[in-house]
Amino acid sequence: MRAGKRICPNFLLYFIEIQIKKILAGLCICAGLLSGCDQIPESGLQVSPLEKILDTGKITLITKNNANCYYQYRDRYMGFEYELAQAFADYLGVQLDVVIAETREDMKKALKEEPAAFIGAGLHLSSISGKEVLFSNPYLRVRPHVLARWDNASVRGAPDLTGKNVYVPQGSHYVSVLESLRKNGINLGIVSVPDADEEELIRQVADGKIDLTLADEHMALLHRRYYPRTVIKDAVGEEIPIAWAVRPDAQKLVRRMNAFFRTVKNSSLFSDIYNRYYAEVPPFDFDQAEHFLQIASENLPLYYPLIRKAAEEYGFDWHLIAAQIYQESHFNSQARSPAGAVGLMQIVRPTGKSLNITDLTDPRKNIEAGVRYLRDLYNFFDRAEGNDRLRIALAAYNIGQGHILDARNIARSRGLDPDKWSSLAQTLPLLQHEEYHKNALYGYCRGIEPVEYVTNVMFYSGMLSRRDIFGPDTVAESQETVE
């Protein structure tokens, strides 16, 4: 979780300043001893939070374990706040530690206990009193948007909310946004949902369980990637600034933060991190079956020999591997994901390195690495059987082995069989909720994603096994089973 130390241009100046102050402090001690005093005067030099950070070579990010801030995906730490904090640590030339806090009160307590720290958790400037913390300059300004299901044409913006219920997390700033709309004459219903966050309510909109919710623009864009049946409607309410928070005595640290934000916003770094999480995604393709067949018919013949060879070597049905490649990359050998996954089977570099494969853009090596990794996961979950074992291995390929272990533990606690995919399909989505992921070894994960991943791969595999992609003279074999 720690980054390697890198020296920034101003680091040596601060280092020299700290050393000088240490020498002066030492002289004060000596003077006190010579005069018979055994304590440093109250007016003696104090080390500021920034000086402590530079002196110890590390800074602590206090954040949340969720999709926006910090989470583990395929053995890599991710999250917009985490990546931005890592860039700040690099800017200072220090290492980054992470502390997870569940509530704002927990964050304030952690900040009080650790001077060399800051809160980076998507905080609105109004979320904590200015007497308790010192805020940086805002690095984002967002507005809440209405979110509805794709087939809800009756709502575009605030005026259309009259007579409708809007569901928002209990205690969130969205409640005050809706109350302001009421004061302005829009007679809407406000439903405050306890123990829910933006992601959970967006999921319920996508599933048709509720009609409407609110989400800040960046959060709406983040979660729409995974719930594409939602549509982002017009903005409501005023623009909201988002900033980092430090202790009230950390003025030097805030100044350095503000200089960092100016620097990264003048380069492409901030926009690169932002786009990895919040860039707009195309609308959901409801003709996905036809789309799959079109892409497969155009691209699968290029890679069929490599897929067939790797599938036979590791004991899988080639239709399954081809379906997985489509799900991962749409047969694009140059594909790169926001998580750093590469190639046809979207292999992350640590996984490739563990398999002694370095050139992940080579289709042959990439396919071999992906199928071999899937086989390793299949071997690992050897207590499951048949299709359950295969589906669990696919889910682990998508979300990471650790999150599957957490889901299995939840299954046991709920009296479910941890070796059945039907059990994990129920418990994986629970890891999106704080009451479950706060006690999980591997923390938050977007558990609905591996469930949909497995469903899609098996669906595409079934389609391939029933369609003649290559023509009548090219392929004529039966499906193979994993042994």
Kind of pairing, strands 189-193 and 71-73? unpaired
- The catalytic residue among 198, 217, 328, 368 is 328
Secondary structure percentages of the chain, helix, strand, coil, to 5: 50, 15, 35
What is the C-alpha to C-alpha distance for residues 112 and 102, in angstroms, rounded to an integer?
A: 16
Tell me how crowded residue 290 is: count the other CB atoms within 10 A of its CB.
10
- Taking alpha carbons only, the member of 320, 325, 328 closest to residue 302 is 325
What is the C-alpha to C-alpha distance for residues 180 and 240, in angstroms, rounded to an integer?
A: 14
DSSP state at residue 75 = T
Task: Give SS3 for 327.
Answer: helix
Q: Are 428 and 445 a contacting pair, CB within 8 Å? A: yes
* Catalytic residue list contains 199: no
The two three-digit tokens of residue 194, written as one number: 């306890």
Planar angle of CA 325, 330, 336, nearest 5 degrees: 90
Complete DSSP assignment for 336-400: B-TT--BTTTTB-HHHHHHTT---TTSHHHHHHHHHHHHHHHHHHTTTS-HHHHHHHHHHHHHH-
Active site residues: 328
